[in-house]
Amino acid sequence: MKIAVITLIGSSDDYEPLRAGGHELKFGPARGQTLPRLTEDEIVAAVGDADCLVHNTITRSLLAALPNLKVVITPYVGYDKLDIRAATEAGVLLCNTQTEASTMGMAEATLALMLASAKRLHLRAGRLRDGGWRDDGSEHAVLLQGSTVGIVGFGAIGQSVARHLFGWGVRLLAYTRTPWATMASDLGVELVNLQSLLEQSDIVTLHVPLTRETRGLIGADQLRSMKPDALLINTARGAVVDEKALILAINEGWIAGAALDVFHEEPLPTDNPLRNLNADRVLMTPHAVANTDAARRSTQRAVVNHILSIAEGKMPRTALNVEVGVPALG
């Protein structure tokens, strides 16, 4: 099998088991997030006649330009940059990659943002760094015990967040389109509709994939439904939240604050209005808060195992369009 790796999140040495198994490997030009993204022409040139592509993006036009392609694997949990419909029509199998370490890392990162925002760490650390000391007592931190945390999206990451918070003395609500009643009961989570979750939660944390249904899920109406002292945490995808509505919500005091690790456009442009929001109320990180060495290593291993499974005629657990079937690979 010919394998082209464009999105490399670790060392190329991690792919040696594939070379040892007789597969042909080639690596595309390395591009960091701060450098220009590859054009489709550059991707086509790098992939050539490969059967399998490891990359976080596939479009209808790329599929048309790469007729030999049979498998695309993204080394990330999110798959919003994969055109599933076009790939299915082309008979190309798509897989994302989710490991225990990446799930746990995202859950821990969510709790870190939640605690940092609730305890107002960025405000207090900034005041001290600027030569100040304590505030006048008017800006109190939030006590999580006794508060209500609403989890929007109750898949692996949402469940992991709930598992981490279990025993903290918080009331847990979740909104999900998937019936997870038994799991929710085991974790002490009450399943509710989105409106009820927003109205009742002191902290709302987002863990849904970006789809046509979830794009703009949290807009002006939803933000106005939240408590004025509530916090919004987004480690899912930027476009799940209407950024213009969020800016209004912060500036006009609809909610108390937000912690964001994801944005509509990434890297976040220097002229994006989000950068001008009150830094005491908005904590932002560059879509990297969940990055860990353990997650990178486990993800690379998982990508390799996906490819080995497909080469053996087995369907990977994280296949996104199983109806395509396992392709025959050379």
Residues annotated as catalytic (active site), given as ranges: 237, 266, 287
Give me the sign of the Cα torsion angle 223, 226, 227, 233.
negative
Contacts of 85 (CB under 8 A, 6+ apart): none
Cβ-in-10-Å burial (0-12, 13-18, 19+) of 41 comes to exposed
**One-letter amino acid identity for 166?**
F
CA distance 197 to 192: 6
Phi/psi of residue 300, nearest 5 degrees: -60, -45
* Segment holding 160, helix H or strand E: helix 156-165
Which residues touch 272 (CB under 8 Å, ≥6 apart)? 263, 265
State the DSSP H helix or E strand holding residue 251, giving kind and residue range, or none if neither.
helix 243-251
Measured between alpha carbons, how far is 292 from 298 in angstroms, rounded to an integer?
10
DSSP one-letter string for 17-48: HHHHTT-EEEEPPP--TTSPPPPHHHHHHHHT
